[in-house]
Amino acid sequence: MITTNYLIIGSGVAGLTFAIKIADRFPDKKVTIVTKSNADESNTKYAQGGIAIVTDETEDSYQKHIDDTLICGDGLCDVEVVKIVVTEGPKRLKELIAWGAKFDKTAKGFFDLGKEGGHSQNRVVHHKDQTGQEIERTILDQVHQKENITVLDHHFALDLITEDNQCLGAFVLNQRTNEIITFQSHFTLLATGGIGHLYGHTTNPIIATGDGIAMAFRANATIKDMEFIQFHPTALYDTSTGSKFLISEAVRGFGAYLRTKNGNRFMLDYDKRGELASRDIVSQSIDLELKKSGDECVYLDCTHLDLKAFIKHFPMIYERCKSIGVDITKDWIPVVPAQHYLCGGIVVDKNGKTAIDNLFACGECSRTGLHGANRLASNSLLEALVYSDKIYNYLVDTTLKKKELNPILSNWIFVEKPKITHDYIAKIKALLQLLMRQNAGIIRYDNDLSKAKEKLMQWQDELKTITENNEISSELYELYNMITIGNLIAQQSMIRIENKGSFKKNN
């Protein structure tokens, strides 16, 4: 058994910024981060756009950012949470800069602010089109400087340990040795990111399998708003890859047009904001256009833009397009919607607390009330920064009052068991991803959802038996978690009647 004061599951911006602050405040306390891949592999790393923060109060204001967030959330945001997150953003940005993060500036030394769909003003602070990578680099550098932080990569969290509605830690699989370790902790933070791999076609990395939400659900935490799934309108259409490369929202903010194969600039038929409508509207519009035409993709036209300025702002996008033979000076970029972000998740209060004592959640796996029915572009990194700080401040007081840990008796009983085949897991995973794309995608139907729920329940029962009777592996548990998440999405989609934000159901 390993004992620690703070157990953090996940290594994105949410978990790491909390770790840095709590380790600084309590140098005598142990902070342990477990992550199932390399420490730098997370959804944070792939965030291209940036952080939506009010930095120019002459042109912009907190109220404008609040209003944009509320409009995008389609009446389901928690207004108080929106105000807190928006107004605390500038402080969190200053912390990142103090830690060494660099953001693009104009020749006059001001932030070079981008504009994305749903925003009424330029307010997105960015580092070219690699903002997430820059933030991840910065905070990991800080983490490695703290002597009381231990980072254990290739450690897969299997399940939370709970007793009398208290979280006591987690069972974790060391993927290198196949040993299951009991971690006991005063406090546990789930910062496990999103669910993208459940759909297969996603902008998320392959590690995004909803593990934290599934674990919290099995531990009886409250899970809400799972029907609100954001599909990014413009993922690069490249048949050679599963995970889709993101063509940032900021490219449309920069002036690119969406066109059909025949050249029709169709977004103006759906929304007066055209390409700068919110993501739900753009994704649903593309989906309708593709269903009408039978085409496999639509196109982003950048040929009228200033090439030099484009390459300066979007070097990674330019190079990726070039690598598949798309010359943006004369070719349109083929794009399709892909699963991008989950607006719901583990319900937390304004301190990031779940319904289970000593268990917290932060980042995409949490449901704070900020996003409502649809997340405003570049509000995700902002939410993670603000809520990790909220959890830190809450736990400063709580830690000072906390007594020493009493040893727990919970243990994972190890018995020699047969190993499930990789082929079986790969087959079910492929069927699951197809089921979710077809039956619980951008536009849903009750009949499809009912069929999906029935199949998912069957798989869930099957996987529960398999996990009990076969050798545990991260691959097997990921599949179990994805099926659990799929079931939650299907059930909560069936319950919702009214179309809101990213949720659209035709009866």
The per-residue pLDDT for range 232-250, each reduced to its tens digit, is 889 998 866 555 788 988 8
What's the whole-number average pLDDT of the chain?
Answer: 91
Question: What range defines the domain where residue 269 resides?
Answer: 235-338
Q: Taking 70 as the threshold, does the pLDDT of residue 275 lie above it?
A: yes
Task: Tell which wins on pLDDT, 114 or 265.
Answer: 265
Same-domain check for residues 119 and 162: yes
Same-domain check for residues 173 and 246: no
In this prediction, residue 9 has a pLDDT band, given cuts at 50, 70 and 90, of very high
In a domain, 410, yes or no: no
List beta partners, residue 231: 339
Same-domain check for residues 22 and 118: yes
Q: Is 279 annotated as catalytic? A: yes
Same-domain check for residues 154 and 32: yes
In a domain, 409, yes or no: no
In a domain, 406, yes or no: no
Go through the chain and tell me how many residues it has: 507
Same-domain check for residues 218 and 241: no
- pLDDT for the residue numbered 15: 94
Give how far Cα 238 sits from Cα of 89, 201, 303, 324, 447, Å: 36, 11, 20, 8, 31
Same-domain check for residues 303 and 352: no
- pLDDT for the residue numbered 406: 65
Same-domain check for residues 218 and 325: no
Interatomic CA distance for residues 1 and 22, integer angstroms: 23
- Alpha carbon 248 to its chain centroid, in Å, reads 15
Q: What is the mean pLDDT of residues 133-154?
A: 93
In a domain, 303, yes or no: yes
In a domain, 149, yes or no: yes
Same-domain check for residues 332 and 354: no
Same-domain check for residues 275 and 331: yes
In a domain, 408, yes or no: no
Interatomic CA distance for residues 411 and 170, integer angstroms: 10
* Domain boundary, last residue among 338, 365, 393: 338
**pTM to 2 decimals?**
0.90
In this prediction, residue 43 has a pLDDT band, given cuts at 50, 70 and 90, of low
Tens-place pLDDT, residues 57-76: 888 999 999 999 999 999 99
Number of domains in the chain: 3
- pLDDT for the residue numbered 42: 57
Share of the chain above pLDDT 70, in %: 94
Task: Tell which wins on pLDDT, 418 or 484.
Answer: 484
Interatomic CA distance for residues 149 and 145, integer angstroms: 9
Q: What is the mean pLDDT of residues 242-262?
A: 87
Share of the chain above pLDDT 90, in %: 76
Q: Taking 80 as the threshold, does the pLDDT of residue 403 lie above it?
A: no
Q: Kindly name the residue from 279, 320, 367, 444 that is annotated as catalytic.
A: 279
